[in-house]
Structure 1
Amino acid sequence: MLDRTLLLALLFCAGTALAADPVTYGTKAQQLISKGDFVQALEELKAATSRFPYDLELKHQLAFTYSELAKRDLQAGRYAQAGENFKQAHELIPDSKELALMRGIALYLNKDYSVARDELIQAGEGSESLVYQGKISYDTGDLPGALELWRRAKELDPANKVLATLIEKAERELPVESRMDKGYSSMFDLGFDAELPPGLSAEVLDALESAYNAVGADLGVFPTTRIPVLLYTRKDYSSVTAGPDWSGGLYDGKIRLPVGGITKLTPQLRAIIFHEFTHVLVAELTRGNVPTWFNEGLAEIEGRKEYVPRVPEVRGNHLIPMATLTKGFTGMAGTEAGLAYQQSYLMTRFMADRYGWYAVQQVLKYLGQGNNMDAAVAKALSDYSLDLNGVVREWRESLPGSGTGDAAQ
């Protein structure tokens, strides 16, 4: 009969050998990955690679797990964390151009332009790498550089319609912006037509800095990346943006303002500056996942603190459907657009007044995490047991002439 002590010793040694087997680590990690438990798989593989640093299969499994976590971070808008996880994966497989590309894209989305460009250059001369290098040049004010990169990308991918749109837009902007003078403040890069009145650019920069502080306090965010702003004559603004005649400004990654005919900063222009800067912050907070009515409603709140325009009356029995207000307003005629902005303002103002700015900030946070507006409102107003339909219902009841129709449909 085998001695009990010897048996226990043999079992212990066998267990130790089994735990030290890289195949066992890899199999367990693979089982966790198949269940979607990448975090636990990551811990298993980190422990395994520390024991077996020269095992290539474990190293590739660990890199794969880091990259899958990074992709989840990207989808959730956690761009800095995605960049870090792609970095960990790339260090394990330094020859991978795909991992360099993905990290470059994550860092571009996080507006970490300098490091993003370095990663994208490492990714080589592929079309996607050139597209994002071009976007960095475009976002930092180098239109000729952006065009050169995008044209090279187009040679590699001639059927890419998105790329064709980028090139067409940049070609439309270049003749106007190439003759602009430049101005700067702590957070803003200003381009302005040399024919504009002297002193106006400085007044605009002062208003932008005021908006940075005031709107940032309401929405709870202060950007750290410099923000480009362009001042146009009305003719140049129309040719560059192709916007509707009633448009008083635009934010498309750059704040664009028509100021032709203005000799000094007016309350109306100051209001537009606050309006457009609000779009900058909403885009940063939501990653663009925001219905138009909420985006424009917040911008109207901030703009009307500086100047209150004449607005159409909104009555509860004559409301624009929410489905229409969720989309863009640029295709609307002037009268309908005025009603759309006013209704958006009233709904958003109601939310801020009734539930507080913290609730508004929470809605923006949940939108930034990828939730739709219904879910974002329900989470932000869980203490009130309200969803979006409940908020709209309460708002409608506060309007004159309420009681018919359904604005939430």
Structure 2
Amino acid sequence: MNVFLKRPLLFTLPLLLGCLVVAAPPATGADPVAQKKYGVQSIDLGELEKGIEQLEQAFSLFSLDPTLRDNLATAHALLGRKLLESKSYEEAAKHFGRGSELYPDEPRFHLLRGIAFSLAKNEEMARHELSLARSLGGDTAEGLYFLGKTYYDAGETDQAMALWEKAATLAPSESSLAGLLEKVRREQSVEERMERGHSSRFIVSYDSGTKTDNALAILDLLEEFYNSVGTDLGFFPASRIPVILYTRQDYREVTRSPHWSGGLYDGKIRLPVGGITEITPDIRATLRHEYVHAVVIDLTRGNCPTWLNEGIAEIQGRLEYNPPLGELEKAAKRGEFLPLKRLEGSFAGLEGGEVRLAYEQSYSLVDFIVSAHGWHRLRMVLEDLGSGLSLGEAMNRAFADVGLDYDGLFGRWRDHVLREVGGGGTPER
């Protein structure tokens, strides 16, 4: 199960551009006035890269013009915001960095650059830039939220809580902050009693009822999965991933997840396996499944429909433990699959047989794609999702050379399942 916290940005970026100058023809030679006019015109038309190129050339010749400096800094900020929205976080950070070069004492550029680094999971640079923004402009709710996130993701919950509590006082109408604080307090009440261990890529916290040998064995398994899953998906997360082993009761209290949930990933891998006496195939499968969510979320920057995310996780988990596809067989015989659109969102509201069918159908569809076309095409889809494309666009691009699109792939899978299992009807998409 994947529960990925998505936090909308609170901040707005006031424009530094004043009234746009009258349009001018493209600049020729070393004419900074013409370059400045053409650059502003390009920005006004939304051609940010072209505008920046012209303004940078003009600025290199006329760096004392304050309006030119303002226009250039704003152009970089606007392009940075555009890149943030398309999930190109590293590129966004470069443009915000150029803004901070032009205005070193302007906290907004450091704030925006820190946010970009945070979203790119570059915690060290994010913490540096966000701390610098605080020192230059005081505390803001946005800066405190993202700075707190760098501590939370590193397992430093006390520091994160202090920053988020201060953010909540600055933005009392932000209900998401209140909900986040409530969630983390539940975690703290349980996790402060836990033992901890770590490897090069994972941090594990575990209940006192769990033997240290078993907790360390789980770390070893995760290191193994890091390599094998990374080979299939062509991606190896750079950040250390927290893993928390709860008792079943504590897991329900902390996560408030559906009763059928056997684990989840929400930036941390959380499993109700506290007190285990051995690592069973089922536990191995759940551990691999949840680790895959960490990889997919990182690779796609959170832009992944649930059926695809869960389908990939199920493929990997079933390498460890592969129960029968009972619900899928029943659905195929009835010709009544779950609509694919319904499976793009969270599975949390599903119950009973629908839950099992959702997972089995997701597994079957992704397994069909991998079996017929290979992991490399699925990697192309995930990479395009990470660059901000929609699922339909990403699927169409990856399969265009074999004459398939999103609908065509779904149709072929449907025909395959009906042929293998038997049944009739036309599943709704």
TM-score exceeds 0.5? yes
Of 45-54 and 307-316, more deviation after overlay is shown by 307-316
Unaligned runs of at least 5 residues, structure 1: 1-16
Contact (CA 8 Å) 2:338, 2:427: kept in 1 or not?
Answer: no
In the alignment, structure 1 residue 102 sits paired with structure 2 residue 112 = yes
What's the secondary structure of 2:212's corresponding residue? Answer: coil
- Shift in Å, 1:35: 2.3
- The CA distance in 2 between the partners of 1:327 and 1:50, in whole Å, is 49
Identity within the alignment, %: 43
Shift in Å, 1:111 = 1.0
| Structure 1 residue 37 corresponds to structure 2 residue 47 | yes
**Aligned amino acid, residue 189 of structure 2:** P
- CA drift of 1:22 comes to 3.8
Equivalent of residue 364 in structure 1, options 382, 385, 409 = 382
Helix, strand or coil for the counterpart of 2:326? coil
Q: Give 2:132's match in structure 1, choosing from 102, 122, 134.
A: 122
1:8-407 aligned at under 5 Å gives the runs: 22-124=32-134, 125-314=139-328, 315-316=331-332, 317-399=335-417, 400-407=421-428
CA deviations 1:4-49 (Å, max 9, x no partner) are: xxxxxxxxxxxxx996554322111111112222222222122211
State the Cα distance separating 1:257 from its structure 2 match. 0.9
Task: Report the AA paired with residue 192 of structure 1.
Answer: Y
Alignment-mate amino acid for residue 137 of structure 1: Y
Indicate the structure whose relative CO is greater, using CA pairs within 8 Å and at least 6 residues apart: 2
SS at match of 2:112: helix
Which whole-Å deviations, capped at 9, do the CAs of 1:180-205 have from their partners, x for residues lacking one? Answer: 11111111111111221231111100
2:32–2:57 Cα contact (<8 Å) kept: no
Which sits farther off after the overlay, 310-319 or 106-115?
310-319
What is the total number of aligned residue pairs between the two structures?
A: 392
Whole-angstrom distance in 1 between the partners of 2:199 and 2:274: 22
- Residue by residue over 1:259-283, the C-alpha shift from the partner in whole angstroms, topping out at 9 and shown as x without a partner, is 1342021111111111011101110
Q: Distance in 1 between matches of 2:347 and 2:373?
A: 26
Secondary structure of 1:358's aligned partner? helix
Change (3 A) 1:21 1:392: closer
Q: Secondary structure at the match of 1:28?
A: helix
Q: Measure, in 2, the Cα distance between the counterparts of 1:219 and 1:20.
A: 49
State the superposition RMSD in angstroms: 1.6
- Structure 2 distance, partners of 1:406, 1:311, is 17
Q: Identify which range, 109-118 or 201-210, moves more after superposition.
A: 109-118
Paired with 2:191 and 2:212, the residues of 1 have a C-alpha distance of 18
